[in-house]
Structure 1
Amino acid sequence: MFPSPMDMGTVTPITAYLIAFVGSALGLLSSERARNATGASRNGWLAVAAVSIGGLGIWGMHFTAMLGTWMGANVAYDIPVTLLSMVVAIVVVAIGLVVALRHDGDERFWPLAAGGLVTGLGVAAMHYTGMSAIVINAEITYNPGIVALSVAIAVVASIVALWFTREVTGPLTVLGASLVMGLAVTGMHYTGMHAMSVTVDQGAAIITGNSEELIMSLIIAGAGFSVIITFLLALTSPDEERREEAEVLERVLQRTESRRLGQR
């Protein structure tokens, strides 16, 4: 038996990229609010950013792309493993955001590198956990070299994404950063897909099930979540935001002054 050719479609990759872009944009806008907030409000915006980037931008993109990919035979998905992959995506992004933004105002590279490494390895784990959820009458194998490349792309993309969440402000800058983040996330996914070979057992029974409907429902729910977050962002008071920005700036200046005095 020879590996079956996979058809990833033409519209599906574009749709997957758009989902990654929207998730990235909402995540960046939410992380910007988190930088300008304190206490429970800051934690709330960090959670929203993690769900936007990890849940919609990464997980939603991944399974949108998968649902549009033909592997030579009918496919179903193990629901518990699929849901686990979503949790992994959200949690690792949350960890990366906390590590990176805890050192907001710190120009050192190591917080970004540490957060990016954790997030990147987590994103790769989410991808391959999601792939392990595939139920198909076929043998699936992976090219180790391309797998390693996809993991490296995930780590680098995560470092860049966390840098964006720490530095990017303003709608136009967020737009540009989201375009880059969406491309990086989608690129990692399709690199990982090219590492996979599927050899279909032509004599096996056809796989049936409704797992795709559940996954699509979750993605649609993610789109609804995006609409809600967009309204929340739009309703944020400009006066309150300016006040919070002034408070954050004051804290950054205080930390900078403390470090300067400590170096004397």
Structure 2
Amino acid sequence: MDTSKPNSSQGYGKPPWVFKGSALYQLHLVKAETARAFIPKDFRLVEAFGYTLGGFFLANYEDSPVGIFDELVVIAGIVWNPPTSCAWAARVLVNSDQAFLHGRKDVGLPSRVANFTKSAREIPGTKRSRFGGFLNKIGMSDSMKSCLDVQIKEMNNHTAMDLCSINLTTAATAPSSQNDAGRWMGPAIKMSLPSFSGRTEHNPHLLKYSCQIECRVRAVSPAKVYGPFETTSEDSGGDDKRNLSISVMLSKPILALEFNSLQMKVEAPTVVPPQKKKHG
């Protein structure tokens, strides 16, 4: 495998790049025809009955090479990379200029600058929120009976355009004692999430990189996602892929995992050499 690396902006320093915080990883059934709009034609989409596995990764990093920032990764689907498969990002939204530039240039991601507006509200009759990690980031204890709404607006030529709103409202029974706290946060796990990127106007190479994750994980009920109130061709700036990214976010959720005490190490991407065509 070719281990050559694309030119780096040096903004993040030497890899691996380490991120710490909390996240929600939500898997959706995405229509294969929607996913194919983002995936290079030389990749084979992993699909069944006209659907692939996509979704989103919503994270709040309290520590990173560029400090605190929020990130929303819209995952178009899964592509086949023998002997495994890898996720393909349709769109990446961050509220950090440095993270935006790093994502575009160094990692070959379809990164955009966005505003993340978080608002918490109390809901009468609900129990402790299962999304305490996010509530803590805005100064609220997860012992409060509250939910968190995250509104993401993508910036385009200094204009903020609604992308989606994510409603974290699911409640669950709180641990009965301090000794239950570890089980309540879920088991500690380690896993690797391989991904492809690149083939963009800012980084034409086909890249592959790996995220090594350590965290406490637990299954939660999927968050509710709402699209823009009104979407017109003018609102989207003529960006069809933006509208398709919204379709991915609004597709049917099947599983949601909450990551707490998250530590993610991202290795520098490597350039994947073109596959040689077999001659019969």
Q: Which has the larger radius of gyration?
A: 1
Structure with more of its chain in strand, by fraction: 2
Which structure has more relative contact order (CA 8 Å, sep 6+)? It is 1
- The two structures share one fold, judged by TM-score above 0.5: no
TM-score range, shorter chain: under 0.3
Calculate the TM-score normalised by the size of structure 1. Answer: 0.28
